[in-house]
Structure 1
Amino acid sequence: MVQVKVKDAALREAAMQDMDAFLAVFVNATKEAIGGELNADNMQQLSVSQITLLAYDILHEEVMDGGFVQLIYNGYGGFIFDNPFAKVLRDWGLRDLAKMLFAVRKLYKEHGARICRECDDEEFMAMFEQYSDFDDYDDEFVENEEAWTAAVAQYVDNHIDDFVIIEE
């Protein structure tokens, strides 16, 4: 296991800002500890909690930027939907998010292979209309993003030792 370390002062400063800054300290420290980006090789060096936090960060960034179609197109569908990510989120207390991800997983299984194919910008933009089944889930994520991110931040705050080692 890789040791993910954060400075106590950085954590305190981020906690005084907002939940996004607080989570960013953990996400950035974890990414730094594994060389910048999560991949199959370095994933084994992380705990389930650390992987779940990075997965939430990916989910959040992709869906807020371009929805589930973008998340799948950018190659994250398997990571989010073929792993126990939703189950762990449910265990963290994010039952509604987990339930939604299980529903989106069905659409991913149905459409994922076609969404992942190489295409130009025009074809990519057309996918949003072609796969409009994802729209309601995109909207649900955006509507609940603040509460879900707060719940993730609260879980991390209550289980800091599962994520990092705090240094003075």
Structure 2
Amino acid sequence: MIEVTDAALRRSAGEGMDAFIKVFTDAYKNKIGDVWTAETMSLLTGEQHSLLAYQIFRDEIMEGGFCQLIQNGYGGYIFTNPFAKVMRLWEIGDLSKLVYAARKIYDENREDLERERTDEEFMAMYEQYEAFDDLEDEFLEKEEGYTAMVAGYVDEHLDLFAKIV
């Protein structure tokens, strides 16, 4: 089991919910060496993958939206894994619905969304895929609440996410 220190959790709790989550996800990234292969990915549990997926999703949407998330290679990790279903199971239903809505756009345009692009072509994606705009806006409006709910779930189920030492 991946370990995190109680001291790191206490310190992060004072910095905010996103910092609390990051203590766990940094430990996961350290464990897999930030190498995404079948072998390294099997080192994480389903719950750990879901938390890592949330952190990646949050960071990518906050910085550059769905186009950036997909262009950075995370489309499959977010949309073809049970991330949306897990958010519903963690009782974050609005986020689950948002991810399912984005997945519909992703599925319909996957080949084009994932193709290699120049910087100019990448910037043009934001106009081409305006269908993501409302979903991005909704996430940005509700991000703080979503992050608090995810952190709350983790806090209530610590043993599923790491061994606290």
Size of the aligned set, in residue pairs, is 165
Corresponding position of 1:146: 144
Contact between 1:89 and 1:98, CA under 8 Å: does it hold in 2? yes
Deviations 1:21-55 (A, max 9, x none): 11111111121122234433211121111000110
The match for 1:100 is 98
State the alpha-carbon separation in 2 of the partners of residues 116 and 127 from structure 1: 11
Which of 16, 19, 28 is the equivalent residue of 2:17? 19
- Aligned residue for 1:6? 4
Q: 1:121 maps to what in 2?
A: 119
* Residue 111 of structure 1 pairs with residue 109 of structure 2: yes
**Pairwise CA RMSD:** 1.1
Identity %: 54
CA distance in 1, matches of 2:5, 2:99: 34
> How has the CA–CA distance of structure 1 residues 90 and 27 changed in structure 2, closer, same or farther, with 3 Å as cutoff?
same
TM-score, with length taken from structure 1:
0.94
Partner residue in 2 for 1:50: 48
TM-score normalized by structure 2?
0.95
Contact conserved, 2:31 with 2:43, CA < 8 A, in 1? no
- Structure 1 regions of 5+ residues with no counterpart? none
**Distance in 2 between the 1:80 and 1:160 partners?**
22
Quote the offset at 1:73 in angstroms: 1.6
**In the alignment, residue 74 of structure 1 is paired with which amino acid?**
N
